[in-house]
Amino acid sequence: MSGANARPIGVLFVCTGNICRSPMAEGIFRHYVEQAGLSERIRTDSAGTSAWNIGEPPHPGVTALFAERGIRYSHRARVVHPDDVTRFDYIVAAERAHLDILRRIAGGTPVHLSLLLDYAPDLGLRDIPDPYYNGRFREVHDMIDRACRGLLDHIIRVERLM
């Protein structure tokens, strides 16, 4: 994928309702992509495994943290679509239950499926807790932030972007 005319690398973040964890991951990751000067090379999106929140903006806990940390972000919740497995190179799940759903959707399609916390192994967790239920948006933000830095480092190395 290296080279000036290469198709942008697509990264899709997935959680349950697409209003907390996946938009948080997309916003943080996009922020780091912009800081690295890779906005033309990496495109991002997020989606949910359920249709509960389609069309809704991110949870106020997410938007408050983004405002506090200077992250510009706008998104409306959507559900994962079967075409996503061909439109994105990396599909990154918030928890193992999402990964199981994504594997079923992908079937045999070659797409890199992973858990976001795979990119922050020092945290010792696999699943990102859902702040919708526990209200711990700062803690979840910090986990996601660390994992997004690890994911970007991984993509830069594997895709030879720098």
Q: pLDDT per residue over 126-152, tens digit each? A: 999 999 988 999 999 999 999 999 999
Q: Half-sphere exposure of residue 43, counting CA atoms within 13 Å on the CB side?
A: 10
- pLDDT tens figures, 58-84: 999 999 999 999 999 999 999 999 999
**Which of the following is catalytic: 20, 21, 45, 145?**
21
Global pTM reads 0.95
Between the two ends of the chain, the Cα-to-Cα distance in Å is 12
136 is catalytic: no
Give the pLDDT of residue 5.
Answer: 53
Residue 46, strand partner residues: 13
Give the pLDDT of residue 145.
Answer: 98
130 is catalytic: yes
Q: How many CB atoms lie within 10 A of CB 52?
A: 13
Give the pLDDT of residue 110.
Answer: 85
160 is catalytic: no
The answer to whether the beta carbons of residues 88 and 10 sit under 8 Å apart is yes
**Which of the following is catalytic: 130, 142, 146, 149?**
130
Rounded Cα distance, 85 and 83, in Å: 5
Rounded Cα distance, 15 and 94, in Å: 5
- pLDDT tens figures, 86-129: 999 999 999 999 999 999 999 988 889 999 999 999 999 999 99
Q: Is residue 148 helix, strand or coil? A: helix
pLDDT at 153 over 70: yes
Burial of 128 (0-12, 13-18, 19+ CB in 10 A): buried
Give the pLDDT of residue 16.
Answer: 97
CATH class of 9-159: alpha beta
Q: Where are the domains of the chain?
A: 9-159
Give the pLDDT of residue 2.
Answer: 45
- pLDDT tens figures, 26-47: 999 999 999 999 999 999 999 9
**Which of the following is catalytic: 15, 30, 78, 148?**
15
